Amino acid sequence: MESKFIRETRCFKVLRVFPTDVNNHNTLFGGKLMSYIDDIASISVAKLCRGTAVTASTDSVDFLSPIRPSDSVSLESFITHTGTSSMEVFVKVIREDMKSGDRKIAATAFLTFVALDEDNHPIPVPQVVPESEEEKKLFETAEYRTQFRKHRREESKKFADYLVTAYPWE
C-alpha cells in the first residue's frame, strides 16, 4: 500500500464563539469543543483512508486555555501515525482574541480511528510520512502513546467487568 505525507491529511476549521456556545463561566462548552474535535479528526481520517472509519478512542482532550466569546477558535488536525488499520489523529486548538490578535493553544487532543470495509471489518490504511519538525516529533512519540492506549484499554475492559448494567429502578 502506498504511503502519504502527513500534510495530505491536514485540515483546518475556524469558528466564531457566540453567546449560545458558552457555559456559566462564559467560556466555550467543553462538549461543544469535543464535538468540533471529533468532526475535524474524522475529515483528516477520510483524507487518508478515503473510506469508512470510526472513532475507536479519544485518548485525551487537554483544555489548556479558556475560549471566550471575544475569541475565534481554530482547529487543525492531521494523522500523526498509522498502524495496520488504525490511525492516530492529533488536533490542535488555537484561540485568538479578536480584538488584540493574541493567540494561545487552547486545547490539544489525540484520537484513534479504525478503517472499516462494508462488513465492518478492519482494513489496511496507508502509512504516513512526517516532514515538519512538529510532524516528526508527534510521529516519533506515537509508539509510546500506542502502548499507553493499549494498556488503558485493557484496564478499561477489566474495570467494565465490575460495573452493573441494571437500572436503579429495576
> How many Cβ atoms sit within 10 Å of the Cβ of residue 111?
24
Which helix (H) or strand (E) segment is 89 a member of? strand 86-97
Q: H helices of 91-141, where?
A: 133-140
Composition of the chain by helix, strand, coil, percent to 5: 30, 35, 30
Residue 138 near residue 81, CB atoms below 8 Å:
yes
- Global pTM value: 0.89
Distance CA 60, CA 34 (A): 10
Give the per-residue pLDDT at 2: 87
User: What is the topology classification, in CATH, of domain 4-160?
Assistant: Thiol Ester Dehydrase; Chain A (3.10.129)
Strand-strand pairing, 52-63 and 71-82 = unpaired
Per-residue pLDDT tens listing for the chain (170 residues): 689 999 999 999 999 999 999 999 999 999 999 999 999 999 999 999 998 999 888 988 999 999 999 999 999 999 999 999 999 999 999 999 999 999 999 999 999 999 999 999 999 999 999 999 999 999 999 999 999 888 988 999 999 999 988 999 98
Give CA separation, 43 vs 75, 76, 124, 127, in Å.
Answer: 12, 11, 18, 17
**Closest among 116, 128, 144, 138 to 82, alpha carbons compared:** 128
